[in-house]
Structure 1
Amino acid sequence: METWDALSARRNVRQYRPDPIAERDLDRIVEAGWRAPSASNRQHRDFVVVTDRDQLRKLSTVWRGAQHIAGAAAAIALVVPDSDDEHTRLVDQFDLGQATFAILLAAADLGIGTGHSSVGEQDNARAILGVPPGHTVSYLIGVGYPADRPLRPTAKPDRRPFEEVVHRGHWRSS
């Protein structure tokens, strides 16, 4: 798929077919997150890849928006070390956002759907994933083939009008 096609085909997928994801495809998706930019190349992030059905079911309970993880072929947990410094926390979250989008885009390029989720129950998430204390499981990304329809470019995405969102040279009131 071309980059633009992957961008315009990517959508949140919350229901998946039961088909497994080939290991090489899952590795490529995670590698996209690994390759994502990081402020000062600090790389304060780790990824935990889960394909075990029981673990996926347990992970689906760590946040009200994570139920789709139970039906995914895999999940990718994005983990960062805890920090008392607000600047470090903000930059780490920005870096995780870049890694998340790289993962979502790489999956779409392969025709694989993704759905992201926050994590509320940190102690539970760390226990399920074996993440040591001093780290936060920030996000989960469900990965699998869409159950409803394959990914394909969307001509009219459900977004605010482009002309309303893009301001050129100065802010313009709507």
Structure 2
Amino acid sequence: METWDAVRSRRNVRKYGPDPVPAEDLRRIAEAAWRAPSASNQQHWDFVIVTDREQLTELATVWPGAQHIATAAAAIALVLPDAPDERTRLTDRYDLGQATYAILVAAADLGIGTGHAGVGDQEKARKILGVPDGHTVAYLIGVGYPADRPLRPLRAPARRPFDEVVHYGTFSSRS
């Protein structure tokens, strides 16, 4: 798939088919995260790939919006060390945003769906994943083949109108 098609095809997938995602595809998706930009190239992140059904089922309980993780073929947990200051916390979270989008687009490029989730119960998430204290499991991304329909470019995504969102030169400008 072309990059532009992957960007236009990416959507949040919350229901997955039964097929596993090949290990080489999971590695490629994780490599996209690893290659994402990082402030001052700090790369404070770690990524945990989970394919074990019991772990996935347990991870689905760490946040109400994470239930789709239970039926995903895999999940990628994005982990950060606790930040020593507010500036590092902000840049680390921004970096995870960039890594997340790299994951989403790389997966879409392979025809693989993704759905992100937050993590509320940190203690439980760390225990399931073997993450040491002093670290935060920031996000989970479900990975798998969509159950409803394959990924394809969306012609009319549910978005605010482009011309309301994009400004040129100043915030008040349009077109």
Alignment of 1:32-71 (within 5 A): 32-71=32-71
Structure 1: runs of 5 or more not aligned: none
The CA deviation at 1:173 is: 7.7
The whole-number CA distance in structure 2 between the counterparts of 1:154 and 1:68 is 22
Q: How many residues align?
A: 174
- Secondary structure of 2:18 counterpart: coil
The CA deviation at 1:84 is: 3.3
Aligned to 2:166: 166
Structure 2: runs of 5 or more not aligned: none
Residue by residue over 1:10-36, the C-alpha shift from the partner in whole angstroms, topping out at 9 and shown as x without a partner, is: 000000001000000010000000000
Alignment of 1:124-135 (within 5 A): 124-135=124-135
Instruction: Calculate percent identity across the aligned residue pairs.
Output: 72
- Secondary structure of 2:114 counterpart: strand
Say if 2:119 and 2:140, in contact at 8 Å, map to a contact too.
yes
The CA deviation at 1:169 is: 1.0
The whole-number CA distance in structure 2 between the counterparts of 1:104 and 1:134 is 27
**Amino acid of the residue matched to residue 49 of structure 1?**
I
The whole-number CA distance in structure 1 between the counterparts of 2:169 and 2:45 is 36
- Secondary structure of 1:115 counterpart: strand
Q: TM-score, normalised by structure 1?
A: 0.98
TM-aligned CA distance change 1:173 to 1:167, over 3 Å: closer
- Secondary structure of 1:131 counterpart: coil
The whole-number CA distance in structure 1 between the counterparts of 2:128 and 2:138 is 14
**Amino acid of the residue matched to residue 32 of structure 2?**
A
Q: TM-score, normalised by structure 2?
A: 0.98
- Secondary structure of 2:65 counterpart: coil
CA RMSD of superposed structures (Å): 1.0
Aligned to 1:25: 25
Aligned to 1:149: 149
Residue by residue over 1:104-128, the C-alpha shift from the partner in whole angstroms, topping out at 9 and shown as x without a partner, is: 0000000000000010000000000
The CA deviation at 1:93 is: 0.1
Aligned to 2:78: 78
Aligned to 1:87: 87
The CA deviation at 1:44 is: 0.3
The whole-number CA distance in structure 2 between the counterparts of 1:90 and 1:98 is 13
The whole-number CA distance in structure 1 between the counterparts of 2:129 and 2:143 is 17
- 1:113 and 2:113 matched: yes
Say if 2:167 and 2:173, in contact at 8 Å, map to a contact too.
no
The whole-number CA distance in structure 1 between the counterparts of 2:164 and 2:133 is 44
